Amino acid sequence: MLPPSLEELIPADHVVRIVDHVIDRIKLDPLVKKYPGGGASSYHPRMMLKILVYAYLCNTYQSRKIEAAVQSDIHYMWLAGMQRPDHNTINRFRSERLKGVLKEVFSQVVELLAEQGVLDIKKMYVDGTKLEANANRYTFVWGNSIKYNKERIQKQIKELLEYAEEVTKEDLMDSAPGEITQINADKVSQIIDQINTSLEGKEVDKKIKNKLKRVKKSWPKNLEKYKKQEDILGDRKSYSKTDPDATFMRTKDDHFKNGQLKPCYNWQISTSDQYITNYGIYANPTDTLTLPSHLNEFKDMYGFSPEVVVADAGYGSDENYSYMEEQNIEAYVKYNFFHKEHKAKIKPKEVFQAQYLYYDEDEDYMICPMGQKMVRIDERQVETKSGHIKKIGVYEAQNCEGCPLRGVCNKQEGNRKINLNYRYRKLKNRARERLLSKQGVQYRSQRCVDVEPVFGNIKQNKNFTRFLTRGKENVLIEVGLLSIAHNLGKFAKN
């Protein structure tokens, strides 16, 4: 006689029940603390989180579509206990309440899955992808064009000062306020005022007079603009005006794998058995520079470092190997030329490359392709952008003059010189040994079917190829929700 209840309509093994069950087991204290109390009663954060995770699992990312689903789809209605948050509430919850707390929720989900034995949290396969930001492709700011414009202003100031010196016969360059090379809006205003004062009452070329009038207004304003843009840029080369956190990166997404420059974020993940165990968003397009911070975040989340890290050649750098060695992590990470070194046939020209030359560690010398001893002539320390110090030895061949191999071996002036990074060489040798071991071969083949299909699933099956929100923090929430949804979706299928 009674109409069927929602409870009866949801099958016992439906994925929505897994979302409900898992989110019920998560401690949400940091999220609950974000609700100050008082005012109108709000929707419970647990219910809101369930709805969002389920929506991301069903490839529904827009708040208006989620609002519609909560009103008409029995799975959402069951999950929401028949409550109906509107799109504004959903949006606010996603962009404000989840800020800074979603990673903790994510880590608890991963720990629960690890307890179920479906993944091994101590083993991680790392990779990254560039995902397009929600930003205009044509509103870019380039660090190089700022540099070029500033240099142009410097050059023209110098020319104006030279002209004024010629007319006044005074030494203005030395009395110009500060170094012209370190220009800023105030300094430029002062120099232009100084030029104008010195030229007062003198016969001045009309063109110069007009130029001085024009640049007095435009240069300080432009330099202020450049200063603000440089602050936003930081150590990046570009950013988008519509999403200043997004950097222009080359993506390979046309059918011919041609690179296209688009505003993107570099999304890094670690996986274990195709479950995501860590995620991060980076402005730097190079994977190499993201690994230490990605591993630090892992340690912060779980309280320990992974035991094994498997990654492709994009991550094999001196800094990354050193970091993993310090943290006692077994690194199965390839380096550039790893595959070239081990392919069956090396091209004749390649045998001249520095990595194929013999280095005697005890006696500290290298042997060139003609069998000459290359001795160390210099040693220096180089600091990377992140503060990592590299010790480099410079080795020189004794006499390249008249050598029949000269043209193919090198085109340097004088004798051939080679830079040798001692620590990187040692760490690479250790990595090579590990990568070629039986275990290494197994990890390398597993990497291709562990982390790479996860990106494929999210981009192709979940149809997520562009972020919906702007700003790094919002984008981080999007990838967090996607990662939880991916993990629960995969768990439901097992």
Q: Check residue 416 for interaction with ligand SF4 (CB under 6 A).
A: yes
The residue (of 302 and 365) whose beta carbon lies closer to ligand SF4 is 365
For the chain, the distance separating the N- and C-terminal CA atoms, rounded to the nearest angstrom, is: 38
Among 28, 68, 114, 370, the residue binding ligand SF4 under the rule CB under 6 A is 370
- Between residue 118 and residue 137, which ones bind ligand SF4 under the rule CB under 6 A? none
Q: How far is the CB of 346 from ligand SF4 (least distance, A)?
A: 16
The span of 41-49, 157-165, 244-252, 406-414 binding ligand SF4 (CB under 6 A) equals 406-414
SS3 117: coil
The residue (of 316 and 369) whose beta carbon lies closer to ligand SF4 is 369
The residue (of 406 and 426) whose beta carbon lies closer to ligand SF4 is 406
Q: How far is the CB of 419 from ligand SF4 (least distance, A)?
A: 14
Minimal CA–CA distance to 306: which of 295, 314, 315, 320?
A: 295
The span of 20-28, 213-221, 273-281, 362-370 binding ligand SF4 (CB under 6 A) equals 362-370
Neighbours of 379 (CB within 10 A): 11
Cα dihedral: 169, 172, 175, 179 (round 10): -150
Q: How far is the CB of 336 from ligand SF4 (least distance, A)?
A: 22
Q: How far is the CB of 443 from ligand SF4 (least distance, A)?
A: 37
Q: How far is the CB of 393 from ligand SF4 (least distance, A)?
A: 16
Phi/psi at 24 (5° precision): -65, -25
Q: How far is the CB of 397 from ligand SF4 (least distance, A)?
A: 4
- In angstroms, the CA 313 to CA 257 distance is 19
Among 23, 80, 269, 409, the residue binding ligand SF4 under the rule CB under 6 A is 409
The residue (of 397 and 481) whose beta carbon lies closer to ligand SF4 is 397
DSSP count for the chain of H helices, then E strands: 20, 13
Q: How far is the CB of 392 from ligand SF4 (least distance, A)?
A: 18
The residue (of 389 and 405) whose beta carbon lies closer to ligand SF4 is 405
As given in the structure block, the two tokens for residue 308 are: 């094994």
The residue (of 369 and 489) whose beta carbon lies closer to ligand SF4 is 369
Cβ–Cβ < 8 Å for 458, 481: no
Q: Check residue 368 for interaction with ligand SF4 (CB under 6 A).
A: yes
The residue (of 67 and 396) whose beta carbon lies closer to ligand SF4 is 396
Q: Check residue 417 for interaction with ligand SF4 (CB under 6 A).
A: no
Q: How far is the CB of 433 from ligand SF4 (least distance, A)?
A: 28
Q: How far is the CB of 405 from ligand SF4 (least distance, A)?
A: 4
Q: How far is the CB of 338 from ligand SF4 (least distance, A)?
A: 25
The residue (of 109 and 420) whose beta carbon lies closer to ligand SF4 is 420
Which residues are within 8 A (CB) of 217 and not within 5 positions of it... i.e. 6 or more apart?
none
Cβ–Cβ < 8 Å for 260, 98: no
Beta-sheet pairing, 123-132 with 308-311: parallel
The residue (of 201 and 404) whose beta carbon lies closer to ligand SF4 is 404
The residue (of 409 and 476) whose beta carbon lies closer to ligand SF4 is 409
Q: How far is the CB of 396 from ligand SF4 (least distance, A)?
A: 9
Binding mask 374-403 for ligand SF4 (x = CB under 6 A): -----------------------x--x--x
Q: Check residue 372 for interaction with ligand SF4 (CB under 6 A).
A: yes
SS3 408: helix
As given in the structure block, the two tokens for residue 172 are: 């203005």
Minimal CA–CA distance to 293: which of 271, 315, 262?
A: 315
Cβ–Cβ < 8 Å for 313, 366: no
As given in the structure block, the two tokens for residue 205 are: 């070329």
Biggest distance spanned by C-alpha atoms of the chain: 107
The residue (of 106 and 359) whose beta carbon lies closer to ligand SF4 is 359
Among 406, 444, 459, 466, the residue binding ligand SF4 under the rule CB under 6 A is 406
Q: Check residue 366 for interaction with ligand SF4 (CB under 6 A).
A: no
Binding mask 75-104 for ligand SF4 (x = CB under 6 A): ------------------------------
∠ at Cα 299 (297, 303), nearest 5°? 135
SS3 162: helix
Phi/psi at 210 (5° precision): -65, -40
Would you give the DSSP letter of residue 276?
E
Cβ–Cβ < 8 Å for 21, 112: no
Q: How far is the CB of 366 from ligand SF4 (least distance, A)?
A: 9
As given in the structure block, the two tokens for residue 228 are: 């603000």
Angle, to 10 degrees, between the axis of helix 15-24 and the axis of helix 472-493?
120
Angle, to 10 degrees, between the axis of helix 472-493 and the axis of helix 45-57?
70
- In angstroms, the CA 452 to CA 276 distance is 11
The span of 178-186, 278-286, 312-320, 368-376 binding ligand SF4 (CB under 6 A) equals 368-376
Q: How far is the CB of 408 from ligand SF4 (least distance, A)?
A: 8
Alpha helices for 234-335 (secondary structure H) = 291-302, 318-326
The residue (of 227 and 376) whose beta carbon lies closer to ligand SF4 is 376
Q: Please state whether 402 falls in left (phi above 0), alpha (psi between -120 and 50) or beta.
A: left
Q: What residues make contact with ligand SF4 under the rule CB under 6 A?
A: 368-370, 372, 397, 400, 403, 405-406, 409-410, 416
